[in-house]
Every structure is written in C-alpha cells, then in structure tokens.
Structure 1
Amino acid sequence: MRAFIFPGQGSQAVGMGKALAESSSTAREVFQEVDHALEQNLFKLMCEGPEDELTLTENAQPAIMANAIATLRVMEKEGGKSLEDLCTYVAGHSLGEYTALCAAGAFDLTTTAQLLKLRGQSMQKAVPVGEGGMAALLGADKKKASSLANSAAQGDVCTIANDNDPTQVVISGHMAAIERAIALVKEHEIKRGILLPVSAPFHCSLMQPAAEAMEEALDEANILPPSVPLFANVTADMVSDTDEIRRLLVDQVTGTVRWRESVINLSEAGVEQFVEFGGKVLGGMVKRINKEVETKSLISRDDIDSFLASI
C-alpha cells in the first residue's frame, strides 16, 4: 500500500521546476495555469529568483504546490495511470495539505493556487513582523517540547506548531517566549533550539485572523470528495467528507501539524511506501518515525522515470 505525500514551506528553492518544465509540456501547463490564476509570473520567480522574494510566504506556498503538482501530473501522464491507481491515501505537511487535496481532485488547480496565495498573505498580515517567531527543537519529543513551551510562555503564546518526528518538534508564538524557550532547552533535556527564518508564527493562536480569512474563502470554494482519503494534519486521521475537510483546513491555520502521528496512523493503515512529490524533507521525517517503510522522493524527470519503472 502506498501514500503520496506533499511538502510544506521551506521546500522552495530558486530553480525549482525549471528542468521539469524544459522536459515536459505537462509541467509547463501546470505552471502556466498557476501564473494565470494568480495574475503574476510566479514561475519566472521560481526559476530565477530573487530568493528573498520567492521565500515570502505568499509566493512560497503556491510555488511549492505548483512544483509538486507539476511533478505528479508528469508522472500520471508518463505512467498512463491516475493518482487513485497508484496510491491509497494522500497527506501533506501544512500547506502541503492543500497540494494533497488538489492532487486527489478535491480542489482544482486554480482554486488551490488562489487559496494558498490568500493563506500566505493572511498569515503574514496576522502578526507584525518581529512580534512572532518559531523555533525547531532538536532532540525533543512532544512531551519535552510541551513542557518547555509551558515554561517559556510566561503569559505569552508559546505552543507546539509541528510535531514532525520523534527527534524534532517546532514551537511557535510571541518572539519573546520563543527566545526564552531557546534559552531553556538544556533545562528540559533538549539538545538544541534553533530560531527559524520565518516571517510569522504559524500554527498557533496568533494566526486566528488568518483562520477567519481562510474560513470565509473556504466557505465559497468548491470542494469535491477526494479520490482517495486524506490524512489531515490536525486530527492525524483520514477524512473524505467535504464539510469536514473545509473545517479542518480552517482549524489547521492555528492548530498543530501532527505529522508524526499521521505517519504512524498511515503505517497502521497498511502503508508501506511513502512517495514525496517536489521535495525530500518529509521522506527523512517518515524514516525517523518508521524505519520499516520505504520512502521515495520525486523531483526530477529521472526520479519519475525510476519510480514508474519500479511499480
């Protein structure tokens, strides 16, 4: 049994998608549709930069999605099979959840691009730059991270944003609390705390204004039942009902990304192979969660050809 998984923010890089577009009209069509949907030349930014502009949340989110969907579409066309022929479940990390839903036909590509553009803009506007932050806790499990966050809060917001794998948890909240948390890591038997280069504190209660903006947009969006079930970030469980998908996407803006539990639950559901599209970060997390499963990362045309030859 196989799951297709889709990366979150941080997977962007100048040059992303360029080689794939040069070798495939299918990929070029995806990038052109996203550019048209957003009324901007996002693909040129993806290919040429500048990096600081590509890294902006409102650009990075639709860019990462477009790159992953282009990779998937090339694979489907080259393989002559649809997603549901090749996998049993989909999942995505944070914004990757939108990509997963697009891949499974719940959203069309134009809607996905527009929702992610709005999501990025709303998240950026929710908290003034410098007031919020995030930190990766290395050598921390969820229990240690939760204890640290509670100690560091001191009246501010400081909470678990991403439970990524048994060795890495990300916290989010007011910058003062995040800085206190980094200073306290040793007291909580955590190896290291690293301040992340992000412009907003994602997946915490400070993102409530963004959640409200997404609720309004998702109420108007057309959502179809996905062709295969999604394992959702905030529940770490499968969902196919469109009303529940809509609700969970709103909850996800302020809620914890329960990636570690999602992978455990996917494994228990029978998944033995995880295939990541357009990135290679999630595969490493998956292996740290469950060493027994197989992981593949599809980025280049060679990766796609190799995967198709193996199935």
Structure 2
Amino acid sequence: MLPYVGSGDYCYSNSLHMALRGSGAASEEVPLPGFLECLTTMPFGHAFLKRGETVQFFFDGLDPHRGLTRAIETLGWTCQLTQGGDEQAALERLALAKGPILVGPVDMGYLTYNPNAAYARGADHFVIVLAVEQDIVLLHDPKGYPCVPLDLKAFLQAWKAKAIAYTQEPFIMRSDFVRVRQPGRQEMIAQTLPLLAENVRDDPGGPQVYGSVRAIRLFADYLRAGAHPGLCGELIYFAFPLAARRMLDAVSFLQEGGLNELAGLFEQKARLFGQAQAVAVRKQWHAVAELMDRLAALEERVLAVLP
C-alpha cells in the first residue's frame, strides 16, 4: 500500500526529530518520523485499562517515555535524561541544558495557546523547549504550533504531568543530545525487532491492565455494551487515525527488514483502523466492535509469525 504522508499525532517522534536536527545531525542522518516511531516500538502492542468505571484503550505499546529511550539508544545517540524534584530544581535544570530540550510528557490541558486545550486535560504530549525568557517559555509544539510562547506558570503545570498514568515523576526532560555511533538502518531494525515482539506479546493479565489479544477482545466487548461518550471522542479524533498511520509506518519498517508476511498483516490492520474510523463517526459501535474482533484475530496471526 502507498505510504501515508500528512497530518497526524506523532508528537514524541516529531519532537525527537527536531531535537536531533537541532543537535547537529544533517537531514540525511535522521530518519523520518515514521521510522523513528517504529524505533520507539509504540506502533506495536495493545492495552486495555480499567480503573473503576474509567476505561481506556491504547493501540500502542503504552509508554512513550520508555519508547523514546529505546529509540535514542538504537539511533546511536545519548542524552541527559532528568526528572523529578520541585519546580525550582526543574527550572534550574532547564537553564543549564544545552541545545534543544525535549520535554514530556506534559499535560495538553495546560497548553493554553492551543484552542482545544480545555478539552485535552489529562492527554499526554511532547514538545521542544527553545528558550526561557523571563516568565515565558518558547516552544515548538509538533501539534502545529511552532515558535509559540507559553506562560511559565502554565508550562510548569503542564510539565508536572500529574494526570499522565504511565509516569510517576514530574518534570521529565531530555537534553544535551550527542551521537556516539552511526548504526545503519538494518542494524536499527534488527535491534528493534525483539522489543516490538515484547510489546505485542505483553499482557499484564489484569486486574487493571490487560494487553495483547485479550486487550482487544475486552475492548470489543466494552464497545458492544455501549461506549462512553468521552472515549468515543478520543477514538474518532485521535486513536483510530493515529493507529492507522502507525500501522502503515510499521508496514514500511517491517518490509525494509525483510519481514514481508508480518508487514502484510499490519497492512490489513491499517485497513481495519480506517474502517473503524468511518463507522465510529456514525456511532455504529456494534460495527466497530466487530472490526475489533477482526483485529484480535489478526493479532493472533501476528503472534504466530513474529520472529
């Protein structure tokens, strides 16, 4: 299938691309964001979270913080990763950092330059800090907001990331990017394959977090029972479009690694996510559930052919 080029929510991969370019890498030395996304292993795996009446579903490896660390190491770069402490300590680290600073996760609900911020409280995001000028932080936000100023107080609230489930530490940042080796693309793919297989197979088994095929089947059952309005919005505005794009980038990644059978299965998954988007917009949730059943069957085939 023709690769997709267009808008999409690749915040940490786009931010990583900017950070590496801003740290001296030439354009031909930094893979495109779709390849970077696969190096994070985030396009691989599924997670169903249930905490009381709150349900979340992720068509990904769940933890982009870990994914960024994986990608940076695989690319042959190092960086200074710092986290925790209070606001003053975080600002001091920010002032001492060299080069572009990859910050995140941050809570999108506090990014007040975004006209949809009020509806995004608790959503994770990643941005590049360009400078701190008195009480203003200058950012490149890959959501579509370059060179945008943000009030320092709002930035600190976002950076605390209190509502982000996959991290327990506030004020996470990566800076001082340095290349220590230059692996080829085939080497990077080979290094990533065991990690992406780990994501696909991972199933914590509950009672709050489930993974792999079981997560997809639980999600299908949940949709059949009547989807929560908030989750419906997340699916049609974010999760389904993002998942379809990720699957297509995974197709290219796997084909480049010579895994054509596996790539074919991911192409089928991309088509299912596109179909799910079309019927979810019409609120045909039983039809979406049936597509998720087909996705679960495909994921079983993925498990069977993983290297």
Query: Which range, TM-score by smaller chain?
Result: under 0.3
TM-score, normalising length from structure 1?
0.25
